[in-house]
């Protein structure tokens, strides 16, 4: 399948067309951004590591009946994905209080959230990706009530499967961001990626508050050892998916 022209370039990935209009190539970059792209940099080999991590997690979720846009992985930085129309909502699932939730509510870092929170943000950089209520989603005509409910159910199921998997990796899934789209059959599928770029991941085998961080917060907070943290996540995932 031939790689075609660039169709879209985001902060972390480039999408290329192919000779099949329903299939795209997703190329993972080393570029890193934070605080709505106000902070920019690069994380060495991030694209390679995130492509591998996302590929394994997409396969895991597919095996559990979660529909995704992933088709296969064609190189260490590229995967084939189904072309989808993205629902303009970022979905954040929170199992423990961290980040903006602590800043906005005063909840102490690490407070368990039972049941987990499922939040919706408007995917719009110019507006700063604001938090939305379901009434606002309806008023802005971003998605129907049925679509929001379907996404909520999928996000909750994804959270359950990922918690179980990361526990085997001795990693706590603190929170994570998801994006969904509609394929050519109008089925809602998981898109984008799942990686240390989009998840907060804490090392269960580390007690120090800063040293336990295995995700992009190391970049956001200038903690150093960012590449090593991403590689550690990949190593633990590979240890679980390696054949016995």
Average pLDDT value over all residues in the chain: 95
pLDDT above 90 as % of the chain:
93
Q: What is the pLDDT of residue 244?
A: 47
Q: What is the pLDDT of residue 242?
A: 64
Question: Can you give the C-alpha Rg of the chain in angstroms?
Answer: 17
Per-residue pLDDT at 10 exceeds 60: yes
Per-residue pLDDT at 34 exceeds 90: no
Q: Which is nearest to 176 in space by CA: 217, 138, 144?
A: 217
Q: What is the pLDDT of residue 2?
A: 52
Is-cis flag, bond preceding 115, omega within 30?
A: yes
| pLDDT tens string 191-230 | 999 999 999 999 999 989 999 999 999 999 999 999 999 9
| pLDDT tens string 120-154 | 999 998 999 999 999 999 999 999 999 999 999 99
Q: Which is nearest to 18 in space by CA: 108, 83, 90?
A: 83
Residue with tokens 């240390």: 196
Please give the domain boundaries of the chain with CATH numbers for all domains: 3-82 (3.30.200.20), 85-225 (3.30.470.20)
Beta carbons within 8 Å of 85's beta carbon, 6+ residues apart:
181, 182
Beta carbons within 8 Å of 31's beta carbon, 6+ residues apart:
11, 12, 40, 41, 42, 46
- Helix, strand, coil fractions of the chain, as percent rounded to 5: 30, 35, 35
DSSP assigned state of 69: S
Per-residue pLDDT at 6 exceeds 80: yes
* pTM of the shown model: 0.95
Mean pLDDT of all residues in 66-95: 98
Mean pLDDT of all residues in 24-50: 92
């Amino acid at each position: 399948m031939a790689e075609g022209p660039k169709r879209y370039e985001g902060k972390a990935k480039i999408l290329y067309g192919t000779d099949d209009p329903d299939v795209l190539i997703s190329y993972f970059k080393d570029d890193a951004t934070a605080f709505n792209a106000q902070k920019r940099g690069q994380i060495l080999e991030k694209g390679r590591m995130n492509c591998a991590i996302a590929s394994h997690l997409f396969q895991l979720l597919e095996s559990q009946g979660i529909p995704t846009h992933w088709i296969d992985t064609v190189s260490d930085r590229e995967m084939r994905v189904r072309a989808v129309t993205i629902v303009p909502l970022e979905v954040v699932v929170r199992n423990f209080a961290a980040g903006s939730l602590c800043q906005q509510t005063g909840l102490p870092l690490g407070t368990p959230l039972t049941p987990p929170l499922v939040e919706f943000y408007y995917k719009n950089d110019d507006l700063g990706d604001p938090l939305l209520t379901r009434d606002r989603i309806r008023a802005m005509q971003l998605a129907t009530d049925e679509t929001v409910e379907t996404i909520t159910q999928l996000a909750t199921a994804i959270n359950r499967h990922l918690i179980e998997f990361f526990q085997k990796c001795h990693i706590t899934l603190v929170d994570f961001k998801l994006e969904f789209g509609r394929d050519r059959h109008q089925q809602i599928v998981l898109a984008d990626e799942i990686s240390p770029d989009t998840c907060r991941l804490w090392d269960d085998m580390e007690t120090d508050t800063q040293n336990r961080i295995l995700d992009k917060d190391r970049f956001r907070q200038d903690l150093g050892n960012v590449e090593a943290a991403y590689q550690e996540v990949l190593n633990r995932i590979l240890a679980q998916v390696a054949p016995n």
